[in-house]
Amino acid sequence: MQAPLVVVNFKTYSSALGEAAQSLAQKMASVSTDARMVAVVSAFDLSKVSAIEGLEVWSQHLDPVSQGSHTGWLEPETAISAGATGTVINHAEHKVSLEHVEKLMAMLPDGFPICACAADVEEARALAKLGPTFIAVEPPELIGGDISVTTADPSIISDTVAVVKQVNPDVRVLCGAGVKNGQDVATAIKLGAEGVLLASGVTKADDAAAVLADLVALI
């Protein structure tokens, strides 16, 4: 297995925007780990956060549009020039069609990671046919909650891994929803995932540096 991923979605929490986003990203970059640390930040913060060394920075969303008359859309080339080195798509809080994902993938440069989110095994199966870099399975009812998917529904992780690998062995599977600590990460990896996608467990933590250290402690 390649280096496991710890992907932190900053969303639009006040504790992860603007100067707070830079501070949190710096804490992520300072964690001593072999894991691949990824900050998924607001488009407004791409430029400043991407200047921090030792950290991958992804966009929270992109749209399959070119530069031109597309008011309000997130155009990929501009995001890349602002420092995005990957993107999340189809998050439970910003669902899109399979066609949207497919068109976006066709526009992105080779080697640009795209992490497509799936609510369940069947959505993961459909996304796997498109061949994104990653699929993150996140039961929406557990997102932001106190119970990790690794405890509440571990079978969705192992089942998603099995289905995705059957459809496309090159797609890597992440899991999320309620992930809070190192044991959650270790369990996810034991179940076949290659990392985690989380948000509030880090972004709303009183001591984000301590939480980040704990997340990678058992890797």
Q: Any residues with CB less than 8 A from the CB of 138 and at least 6 apart, and which?
A: 91, 92, 117, 118, 119, 149, 175, 176, 177, 197
pLDDT at residue number 55: 96
Return the pLDDT at 145.
76
With a cut of 80, say whether residue 146 has pLDDT above it.
Answer: no
Whether 194 contacts 1, CB under 8 Å: yes
pLDDT of residue 166: 98
Which CATH number belongs to the domain containing residue 39 in this structure?
3.20.20.70
Active site residue 61: no
The pLDDT of residue 111: 95
Does the pLDDT of residue 144 top 80, yes or no?
no
Long-range contacts of residues 103-111, Cβ cutoff 8 Å, at least 24 apart: 103/64, 104/62, 104/63, 104/64, 104/76, 105/130, 105/131, 105/132, 106/64, 107/64, 107/66, 107/76, 108/62, 108/76, 109/80
Strand ranges, E, within the chain: 5-9, 36-41, 56-59, 87-89, 114-118, 134-137, 172-176, 195-198
Count CB-CB contacts under 10 A for residue 140.
Answer: 14
Residue 42 CA to residue 12 CA, distance in Å, equals 7
* pLDDT over 90 at 141, yes or no: no
Burial 14-41 (b: 16+ CB within 10 A, else e): ebbbeebbbebbbbbbebebebebbbbb
Q: pTM for the whole thing?
A: 0.95
Percentage of residues of the chain with pLDDT beyond 70:
100
Regarding predicted confidence, which is higher, 65 or 151? Answer: 65
CB–CB of 59/95 below 8 Å? Answer: no
* Helix, strand, coil percent values for the chain (each to nearest 5): 40, 15, 45
77 is a catalytic site residue: no
Among 56, 91, 123, 194, which one carries the catalytic annotation? 91
The string of pLDDT tens digits covering residues 35-93 is 999 999 999 999 999 999 999 999 999 999 999 999 999 999 999 999 999 999 999 99
Question: How many domains is the chain partitioned into structurally?
Answer: 1
Task: For residue range 176-219, list pLDDT tens digits in order.
Answer: 888 889 999 999 999 999 999 999 999 999 999 999 999 999 98
Q: What is the mean pLDDT of the chain?
A: 95
The parent domain of residue 22 ranges over 5-215
Write down the pLDDT at residue 46. 98
With 0-12 CB in 10 A as exposed, 13-18 as middle and 19+ as buried, what is 91? buried
What's CA 202's distance to the chain center, in Å? 13
Rounded distance between C-alpha atoms, residue 218 and residue 211, angstroms = 13
Region 161-188 average pLDDT: 94
Residues 6 or more apart whose Cβ sits within 8 Å of residue 155? none
